[in-house]
Structures are given as structure tokens and as C-alpha cells.
Structure 1
């Protein structure tokens, strides 16, 4: 494994774990989905240097559908933005599958970049859910 992969895994574990522990309903659900998608992608990743893994594309597409479902249900802006980042990840899969001129290095760089955007959205959603919970708790104490 490369250093970048270990750093990303650690960051995803911290952010998704915080979302599960401290987030509201939508942050917990999206945190679990992102964590499972990350782990599933690591499990099914092949070592083919010339082709995109269709199994990872299937996992990312399923994650996009789930993010969309949570976005419709939660009606929070950060869930929509996380869904948009995930849609760009799926579009990168499709572009690399269709056009062989797109190199896998470019593909992996785009996936890494957009996954950091998803993690930032999850972190923001966790923070806002935690903050709202603290406010609700403070209001009930008086």
C-alpha cells in the first residue's frame, strides 16, 4: 500500500467514525455508507494496470444511489453536495471506461480528490448535527 492510501484510509476512518458516533441521522447513514464503500473498494480492487475495476464502479454507483436517497429524505444541503461529489466519481468511472485516452493515473487522482470532498461534507454534517444536538440539550436544561 502507498502512503497516500494509508493516509486516506485513516482520514476516512476518523471522519466516518465521528459521523457514526456524533452525527445526526443523515450523517450516521452517509458515514456508514462511505465507510463501507471504502472498505468494499479496497477488498475488490484488482491489480490490472490497464482497465478500470467494474466492481468498484458498481460499489460507487450503489453508494451514489444511497446518497441520493438520504439527500431526498434529509433535505440538507451538505448531503446534496456529497451526492454531487459521488456523482462525479461515478462519471469518472464511466469516462475512463468509455475513453481509453483517459489514463488510470488521472482517474485515480480524480477519485482521490472527489473523495476528500465527500469526507469534508461528512465532517461538516457531523459537526452541524452535533452542534444542533448541543443546542437542543442546552435549551431543555433551562
Structure 2
């Protein structure tokens, strides 16, 4: 059920970004879709640190850092910060020796929703800015 909910949130953010977002929002939505499907292809098991998923998250982080440095919008800074925290969950899990599967999974999932929320808010602000400038 959680997988369905995650997929619904992802596609809703992509649809909102395509309809109301600008170039930055659309590029970020495409990157989220690519990262999500790559992560699912890698068969996520939270028993120990997922180095292959870490590579996907670092690649997404690099894209968000690039966007944050080149964009004239403010929301990519939040998305990048949340993605950095989510990536650090992987790093923190490397130092843990006990049973941490639940905390690892929750940490990754929670911060991924925060990144998507940043995109949704950024898209809303972009759409609002366009409407006010067209009037």
C-alpha cells in the first residue's frame, strides 16, 4: 500500500510540474521519476546500507545542487538540503552495527517526501508568479 501511495505522490508532483511549472520544475520532476525507478529496479531491502541506492541519491543530489546554483528560484535550495539529509541517512547507516532497518527506511522515505514537497511548493509559487505577471 505504501508503494502505491508513493507512486501516487510522485505522479501527482510530476503532473503538477508539467502543467504549472517552469523549466526548473519540469527538469526536477523528470529527475525524480528517473531516481525513483532506478531505486525500485535496484530492489530496496533495508537490512543493510544500500550502496547502489546511495549512488542514485548522490546523482540526484548533484543534479539538485546544480539546479540550486543556477536557478533564479528559491525552492531548489530546500530540495537540495532535504536531499542532502536523505543522502546522509545512507552514510549514517554505514556506522550502525545493530538492527536499523526500520529507522533506515523511515529516514529515506521521510526526506524523499520533503524533497517532493519542495518541488510542489516551488511549482505553486512559480504558477502564482506567472499569473501575477500576466495580469
TM-score where L is the length of structure 2: 0.91
Alignment length (residue pairs): 135
User: Following TM superposition, by how much is the alpha carbon of 1:113 offset from its aligned partner in structure 2, in angstroms?
Assistant: 1.0
CA distance in 1 between partners of 2:14 and 2:81 (Å): 18
User: Following TM superposition, by how much is the alpha carbon of 1:53 offset from its aligned partner in structure 2, in angstroms?
Assistant: 1.9
Return 107-116 or 95-104, whichever deviates more: 95-104
Determine if contact 1:52/1:93 at 8 Å carries over to the other structure.
yes
Per-residue CA distance 1:91-139 (angstroms, 9 max, x = gap): 001111232236011011011111111111010111111112222322x
CA distance in 1 between partners of 2:84 and 2:71 (Å): 18
CA distance in 1 between partners of 2:82 and 2:89 (Å): 11
Structure 1 segment 34-45 matched on structure 2, within 5 A:
34-45=32-43
User: Following TM superposition, by how much is the alpha carbon of 1:40 offset from its aligned partner in structure 2, in angstroms?
Assistant: 1.2
CA distance in 2 between partners of 1:70 and 1:100 (Å): 36
CA distance in 1 between partners of 2:39 and 2:15 (Å): 18
CA distance in 1 between partners of 2:13 and 2:104 (Å): 23
Structure 1: runs of 5+ lacking an equivalent: none
Q: Residue 53 in 1 paired to residue 50 in 2?
A: yes
Determine if contact 1:82/1:117 at 8 Å carries over to the other structure.
yes
| Counterpart in the other structure of 2:17 | 19
User: Following TM superposition, by how much is the alpha carbon of 1:73 offset from its aligned partner in structure 2, in angstroms?
Assistant: 0.5
| Counterpart in the other structure of 2:98 | 101
1:78 pairs with 75, 78, 98, which one?
75
Q: 1:102 to 1:90 in 2, by over 3 A?
A: farther
Return 38-47 or 63-72, whichever deviates more: 38-47
Structure 2: runs of 5+ lacking an equivalent: none
Counterpart of 2:48 in 1: which secondary structure?
coil
| Counterpart in the other structure of 1:133 | 130
TM-score where L is the length of structure 1: 0.87
